[in-house]
Amino acid sequence: MPDFTDRLKPAAPDGTTVLAQERGQSDVPVDELAKHLLSNDDFLGRQERMLRIVEKDPLFNKTKQFNLSRPDRFKLGLARGKKLRRYSDQYGWDAKDHEMAVYLCDDVTPYMVHYAMFITTVREQANDEQRAYWSPKIDAMEVIGCYAQTELGHGSNVRGLECQAFWDPKAKEFIIHSPTLTASKWWNGTMGRTANHAIVMAQLMLPKEGSPGEYTSRGPHTFVVQIRDMKTHKPLDGIAVGDIGPKYGYAPMDNGYMLFDRHRVPHSAMLSRYSRVDPNTSEYTKPANPAVVYGSLTYVRATIIMHARLIIARAVTIAVRYTCVRRQFQDRDSKDAKAPELCVLDYPTVQIRILPLLATAFALHYTGEAMQSLYWNTREEINQGNFGRLAVLHAQSSGLKSLCTELAANSIETCRRAMGGHGFGGPSGFIQLNNDYLSKPTVEGDNWMITQQTASFLIKRMQAAVDRKGKPQDEIEGHCRQYLDEKNGYKPSQLRVFDRDEDIVEAFRRRSRDQTYRAHVARNEQKQSWNSLLIQLRRVSHSESQSILVQNFYNALQQKDSAVSSTLHAHLRTLFRLFAFYTMDSEARDFSRAKAVSDDDLDKIPAKIQELMAQVRPHAVRLVDSWKIPDFLLDSALGRYDGKVYEDLFNRAHRLNPLNEITFNPYYKEEEIVKGSGENIDSILAKL
């Protein structure tokens, strides 16, 4: 309906003009940088191709989904899942294409765990016969599966799972059973309403020879279990399964619960690539070297980091564009009373929240890339059981997962708050991003807990360096020995972090080794309890991860053969230094204690950071443009490429908001709630 608001324009200067100016003042080569960041696996080309298809399908229109109730969100998710799968068939998409489409639509679908964990587990843990049986059914999506490991009572501690699988040698069957309420499977995606099969993690219980009725537990093992009827889609007898209800985010996903009442499955249900129970002798074969999974886990973690960088890039894209368009107050020191208001990105208190994060997106990129290429380069060795560098990287990857997902999760919220009131609104493009991404610090290993793995590994290497037997076993031990050799001779003034980039790298490494050494002394020499050290161990892990991020960023800048132009190189170097100094500043005392940087230099860092931010500021818009995040993905009035912030905010509020189609009765003495509809307090009660 046309009305007088159609004629209104935003006050000048409008967003489009502002962003054009911003882009005009910078020499960042956007396309070159985009290629530099995003050409692996034809990311950009694929993004463009998929975008063309999903963008014009109204089913993927995002603007109103935020109003829907949970059941409707799920329904929409299911519709989208089906549609994408049909597109796959129609256009012959491969798995990567499909993944890209899901990424652009930016909504999990109820099929997610089927595509991810279910397929992978069958591929990796089924023996050849099992694979041959399941794979065609899975590919055709006759079998739709989920991955049921976590229980109501146990998540992190997988060994503590309560669900049991008793071996019945007579019937040659397993009996899956949930002895308690806390044994209920919980949180398992795709299971609540969608899946008809599940990979169930259960304690393998084998009869004790000679003592009938008694069992020995062999620890958690995986079983493929049909859970719903293939026709009616009702749960099978002896299985109670459902959705666990609404969550902070992930509305379209049916995370589920599931209980078993002595439910029988055939011998073939147990996935038997690595361990098996002989159906005739009931003999148990142990898994071979569990390190086989290193490779794929490292790869998964590299993917998490590559994803985290895009999350940060997305948050920063919106924040940078909006804070350029947003103007508030005149410059206090300006003499000109008529001067236009400053754009808020010119305030250092806004810069300090956003620009270091911009640099962080790059830091994560280079480390994710390094991990991926290491994985590909060493795959041959892995297949031959030779781990070498990868074993180290694997241990470090827990810490990286923890730090990088933490950085990404926090960056969303930091950017959102930097935008003032409009950051809180649905059209900011931050709400679902926040809600969905905030599961990441917990899933795939709780971020606090898993830092223990990295720290524990590092402390062992330090112990080995102290023992000094033969040649160093790996790179880390080598560094540890070097640290021990040089330790006493350190002078903090040795490293000139403001002049030499390689000294920045060295400072981070020294500080990390110092943290490791102190933890080693506390644990191995002073014999302090593990529990009393946990907080310190997290620092050990984070120091190491920060050191890796800095190192990889630095390495990337050193690559002589790279095709990076000198203009671009200069910008990247500024970002490198901004990231490094910002990180150093927030951990300043560690560097001082490690004698890695002098107190004098540490005192100068805040000023240095401000100087670097001033250098980045004019290029901020082009730098975020280079991440090529399409408007369709951003789904943000504030972060639009064209800067039409206010027009879009108004359009969404005024024209796309279903609440405005209803006239309410506001008077408390009247029972009526919706004018003229008969909807009153009583009819609301019926819904409660």
Partner 1 sequence: MAAVKNAPQWVRDLKPASPTGPELLEQERKSSNVNVDQLANFLFTKEAREKKRKILKLLQDDKVFDKSQNYFAGRIDRFETALARAKALQKLAVKHGLDDDEKKIAELLISEPGPYGLHEHMFLVTLRDQGSEEQREKFFKPAQAYKIIGCYAQTELGHGSNVRGLETTATWNSDDKTFTLHSPHLTASKWWIGSLGRTANHAVVMAQLVIDGKGYGPHPFVVQIRDLKTHQALEGVHVGDIGPKFGYNTMDNGYLLFNKVKIPHISMLARFSSVDAKTNKYVRPSSPSLVYGTLTWIRSTIVMQAGSVLARGVTIATRYCAVRRQFQDRDAPEWEKGENQVLNYTMVQIRLLPLLAATFALHFTGKGMQALYEANHKKMAQKTSDSNTTRGTGPEETQSSSDLLADLHATSCGLKSLASSVAAEGLEVCRRACGGHGYSSFGGIGAWYADYLPTATWEGDNYMLTQQVARYMLKSARSVLQGQEPSNDTTAVLSWYHKRQDQGAAFDILGKDEDIVSAFAWRSAYLTFEALKHREEQKRTWNSLLVDFYRLSKAHSQYMVVKNFHETIATNNNLDPETLSLLHKLFRLYALHTLETESAEFFTSAAATVRQIQLARSKAVMTLMEEIRPHAVRLVDSWDFPDWQLDSSLGRYDGKVYEDMFYRANDLNPLNRVDIDPYPDSATLFRKNESDGLKSKL
Q: Taking a C-beta distance cutoff of 8 angstroms, is the pair 186, 163 a contact?
A: no
Contact status: 412 vs partner 1 (CB under 8 A): no
**Which is nearest to 225 in space by CA: 289, 269, 288, 174?**
269
Residue 374 binds which of partner 1, ligand FAD, none (CB < 5-8 A, kind-dependent): none
What span, in angstroms and rounded, lies between the C-alpha atoms of 27 and 133?
57
Torsion of CA 49, 53, 55, 59, to 10 degrees: -150
Considering the complex, state which of residue 222 and residue 396 has its C-beta at the smaller distance from ligand FAD.
Answer: 222
Flag whether 150 is marked binding: yes
Other CB atoms within 10 A of residue 146 CB: 30
Query: How near is the Cβ of 355 to partner 1 at its closest, in Å?
Result: 12
Lay out the site mask for partner 1 across 84-113 (x = CB under 8 A, - = otherwise).
-xx-----------------------xx--
Please give the residues from 633 up to 652 whose contact with partner 1 meets the rule CB under 8 A.
646-647, 649-650, 652
Strand partners, 173: 168, 266
The span from the first CA to the last CA of the chain, in angstroms, equals 35
Query: Shortest CA distance to 200 belongs to which of 135, 143, 130, 270?
Result: 270
Tell me which of ligand FAD, partner 1, none is bound by residue 389, counting a contact when its beta carbon lies within the kind-specific cut-off of 5 to 8 angstroms: none
**Distance of alpha carbon 418 from alpha carbon 439, whole angstroms:** 22
Catalytic machinery residues: 444
Which residues is 164 bridged to in the sheet? 177, 203
Among 5, 39, 383, 567, contact with partner 1 (rule: CB under 8 A):
5
- How far is the C-alpha of 292 from the C-alpha of 297, rounded, in Å? 9
Q: Could you say which of ligand FAD, partner 1, none residue 169 binds, taking C-beta under 5 to 8 angstroms by partner kind?
A: none
Say if CB 55 and CB 634 are below 8 A apart.
no
Angle separating helix axes 566-586 and 348-377, nearest 10 degrees = 110
The structure tokens listed for 76 are 């929409």
Which stretch in 44-52, 215-223, 416-424, 462-470 sits in contact with partner 1 by CB under 8 A?
Answer: 416-424
For residue 256, give the nearest of 196, 306, 338, 168 by alpha carbon: 196
Q: Within 13 A of 31's CA, how many CA atoms are on the CB side?
A: 1
Quick one: three-class SS letters along 267-294? HHHECCCCCEECCCCCCEECCCCHHHHH
> Does residue 482 bind partner 1 (CB under 8 A)?
no
Give the residue with the Cβ less far from ligand FAD, 48 or 446: 446
Q: Does 187 bind partner 1 (CB under 8 A)?
A: yes
Q: Does 592 bind partner 1 (CB under 8 A)?
A: yes
All residues at 6 or more sequence positions from 78 whose CB lies less than 8 Å from its CB, including other chains? 109, 110, 194, 252
CB 534 → partner 1: shortest distance, Å?
4
Q: How far is the CB of 413 from partner 1 (least distance, A)?
A: 7
Q: Is residue 64 part of the contact set for partner 1 (CB under 8 A)?
A: yes
Question: Minimal distance in Å, beta carbon 243 to partner 1?
Answer: 5
Does residue 254 interact with partner 1 by CB under 8 A?
yes
Q: What long-range pairs does 564-569 form, CB within 8 A, spacing at least 24?
A: 564/32, 564/36, 565/29, 565/32, 567/27, 567/28, 567/29, 568/28, 568/29, 568/32, 568/33, 568/36
Is 192 near partner 1 (CB under 8 A)? yes
| Distance in Å, CB of 160 to ligand FAD, minimum | 9
In sequence order, what are the residues at sequence separation of 6 or more whose Cβ sits closer than 8 angstroms to the Cβ of residue 6? none
Question: What is the smallest separation between the CB atom of 592 and ligand FAD, expressed in angstroms?
Answer: 28
Q: Please, what is the minimum distance in Å from the beta carbon of residue 286 to partner 1? A: 23
Q: Which H or E run includes 622?
A: helix 620-625
Taking contact as CB under 8 A, which single stretch among the options 213-221, 383-391, 526-534, 620-628 is the one that binds partner 1?
A: 526-534
What is the spatial distance between Cα 414 and Cα 354, in angstroms, rounded to a whole number? Answer: 8
Region 161-180 residues binding partner 1, contact defined as CB under 8 A: 162, 178-180
Q: Which does 147 bind (CB under 5 to 8 A by kind): ligand FAD, partner 1, none?
A: ligand FAD
**Is residue 424 at the binding interface for partner 1, with CB under 8 A as the rule?**
yes
Of residues 601-620, those binding partner 1 (CB under 8 A): 602-603, 606, 610
Integer Cα distance of 28 and 437 in angstroms:
30
Nearer to partner 1, 248 or 376 (CB): 248
Which does residue 438 touch among ligand FAD, partner 1, none (CB within 5 to 8 A, set by kind)? partner 1
Task: Give the tokens for residue 152.
Answer: 């109501």
> Does 195 sit near partner 1 (CB under 8 A)?
yes
Q: Which is nearer to partner 1, 37 or 195 (CB)?
A: 195
Residue in 99, 413, 444, 474 binding partner 1, rule: CB under 8 A: 413
For residue 113, count CB atoms less than 10 angstroms from its CB and return exposed for 0-12, middle for 13-18, buried for 19 or more. Answer: buried
Q: Is 589 in the site for partner 1 (CB under 8 A)?
A: yes
Output the smallest distance, CB 40 to ligand FAD, in A: 27
Q: Give the β-pairing of 164-168 and 173-177.
A: antiparallel
Decide if 276 contacts 126 (C-beta within 8 A).
no
Tokens read off for 473: 């076993």
Choose between 255 and 546: whose C-beta lies nearer to ligand FAD: 255
Least CB distance from residue 448 to ligand FAD, whole Å?
4
Applying CB under 8 A, does 18 fall inside the site for partner 1? no
532 binds, among ligand FAD, partner 1, none (CB under 5 to 8 A by kind): partner 1
The reply, when asked if residue 249 is annotated as ligand binding, is: no
- Decide whether 17 or 69 has the Cβ nearer to partner 1: 69
457, 459, 523 from 533: Cα distances, Å? 15, 12, 8
Nearer to partner 1, 3 or 336 (CB): 3
Contact residue for partner 1 among 216, 377, 565, 660 (CB under 8 A): 660
Residue closer to partner 1, measured from CB, 251 or 556:
251
Shortest distance, CB of residue 130 to partner 1, whole angstroms? 23
**Which residue, among 590, 610, 609, has the nearest Cα to 599 in the 3D structure?**
590
| Contacts to ligand FAD by CB under 6 A | 113, 147-150, 155-156, 187-189, 250, 255, 326, 328-329, 344, 347, 349-350, 418-422, 424, 439, 442-443, 446, 448-449, 534
The item of ligand FAD, partner 1, none sharing an interface with residue 10, based on CB under 5 to 8 Å by kind, is partner 1
| 595 CB-near residues (< 8 Å, 6+ apart) | 490, 491, 492, 510, 514
* Stretch touching partner 1 by CB under 8 A, among 93-101, 325-333, 459-467, 480-488: 325-333
Q: By C-beta, is 325 or 464 nearer to ligand FAD?
A: 325
Q: Select from 24, 90, 92, 157 the one that contacts partner 1 (CB under 8 A).
A: 157
Q: What residue type is 674 in one-letter code?
A: V
Q: Binding pattern to partner 1, positions 432-471, x when CB under 8 A?
A: --x---xx-xxx--xxxx----------------------
Among 56, 90, 128, 329, binds partner 1 (CB under 8 A): 329
DSSP-derived 3-state class of residue 375: helix
As a residue count, the chain comes to: 688
Pair type for strands 185-188 and 256-260: antiparallel
- Binding-site residue set for FAD: 150, 189
- Binding-site residue set: 150, 189
